[in-house]
Amino acid sequence: MQVERQFLLVKQRRVVIELPESFVNRQVEFIVLTVDDQAPAPAKKREPHPAIAGKGRTLGDLIAPVVDEADWDCLQ
């Protein structure tokens, strides 16, 4: 796949571009994007449902397992 990227200032609804010779007799896809749009608004901060907010708690170390490895039947 070859890529030809151009930035043009559009003054009318019709734009004419010249492609490289290697594009002749090939099927191509044109995607037109505007690059001067404002950045999208930041996503709204997610919050838990009021029925469960504040009810969780951390038990022990966040990295190490709460249960000893000797108690894990699945590993034996």
Q: Which domain does 24 fall in, by range?
A: 1-35
Q: Would you state the pLDDT for residue 24?
A: 93
Q: Is residue 57 part of a domain?
A: no
Task: Identify whether the C-beta of residue 38 lies closer than 8 Å to the C-beta of residue 44.
Answer: no
Q: Is residue 12 part of a domain?
A: yes
Q: Is residue 63 part of a domain?
A: no
Task: Identify whether the C-beta of residue 59 lies closer than 8 Å to the C-beta of residue 66.
Answer: yes
Q: Would you state the pLDDT for residue 41?
A: 77
Q: Of 2, 27, 35, 30, which Cα lies nearest the Cα of 16?
A: 30
Q: Would you state the pLDDT for residue 40?
A: 75
Q: Is residue 22 part of a domain?
A: yes
- The 8-class DSSP code of residue 24 comes to T
Q: Is residue 72 part of a domain?
A: no
Number of domains comprising the chain: 1
Q: Is residue 1 part of a domain?
A: yes
Q: Would you state the pLDDT for residue 50?
A: 92
3-state secondary structure of 41: coil
Q: Is residue 45 part of a domain?
A: no
Q: Would you state the pLDDT for residue 7?
A: 87
Taking 50 as the pLDDT cut, the residues of the chain under it are: none
Q: Would you state the pLDDT for residue 75?
A: 58
